[in-house]
Amino acid sequence: MSYTPKILAFAGSLRAQSHNKKVVGVAAEGARKAGAEVTFLNLKDLPMPIYDADLVEEHGFDRNATEFQQILLAHDGLLIASPEYNASLPAALKNAIDWASRANGEVKLGATFKGKVAGIMSASPGSFGGIRCLSHLRAILSILGVFVLPDEFAISAAHEAFDDNGLHKDEKMHSLLEQHGANVVEILKKMRG
């Protein structure tokens, strides 16, 4: 039976008009064309309190964090585009990863991320494209057992980089982003197919 990789695509930004949502959308289309089943997640749909072990003790594991864990467990690969906030990743993304990494009932510590393959990207209106968040995101995912593709993309001047259909106006960059998504799929097929 042929193997269809399942890819979870999301942005580290909550805002509706997020440039990072557009970036991850292009990579996700590349993954889909390469034969993956792609799920888009809007982190805003799963608001989580700031992780606090006392809160877990008193009220149990957060329901949205549990759902995020289950969604992660149901996927083999990740496509994440994140903004850079003050030279790192946004608190909402770090908090969601922190929650998901914890043990929760039958979910063992770190099990949600281990063995996944990820492609990471960033976007910013600035000229560096938010690239400084990527080394942090890479380090976090790596320590959780994710194979993060060596290539990464930082989209500069992101506020003027996309057309109304969400396509990157630079065809070369558009196809590099699509290829990035496809590479996650190809590696998963080699690893698990």
Binding residues with ligand FNR: total (CB under 6 A): 17
CA nearest 178: which of 11, 18, 28? 28
16: contact with ligand FNR by CB under 6 A: no
Side-by-side strand order, sheet with 147-155: 37-41, 6-11, 77-82, 117-123, 147-155
Residues facing residue 80 across a β-bridge: 10, 120
130: contact with ligand FNR by CB under 6 A: yes
Are 189 and 6 within 8 A, CB to CB?
no
Of 12-20, 44-52, 112-120, 183-191: span binding ligand FNR (CB under 6 A): 12-20
Relative orientation angle of helices 91-101 and 132-143, to the nearest 10 degrees: 10
Taking the alpha carbons at both ends of the chain, their separation in whole angstroms is 9
Of 17-25, 38-46, 69-77, 113-121: span binding ligand FNR (CB under 6 A): 17-25
Comparing CB distances to ligand FNR, the nearer of 15 and 114 is 15
- How many residues make up the chain in this entry? 193
Tokens describing residue 6 = 């399942």
Comparing CB distances to ligand FNR, the nearer of 92 and 107 is 92
Query: For ligand FNR, what does the binding mask look like between residues 48 and 87, x meaning CB under 6 A?
Result: -----------------------------------xxxxx
86-108 burial, b for 16+ CB within 10 Å, e for fewer? eebbbebbbbbbebbbbebeebe
Comparing CB distances to ligand FNR, the nearer of 20 and 69 is 20
Query: For ligand FNR, what does the binding mask look like between residues 84 and 113, x meaning CB under 6 A?
Result: xxxx--------------------------
Of 40-48, 57-65, 123-131, 172-180: span binding ligand FNR (CB under 6 A): 123-131
Q: Which residues bind ligand FNR (CB under 6 A)?
A: 11, 13, 15, 18-20, 83-87, 123-126, 128, 130
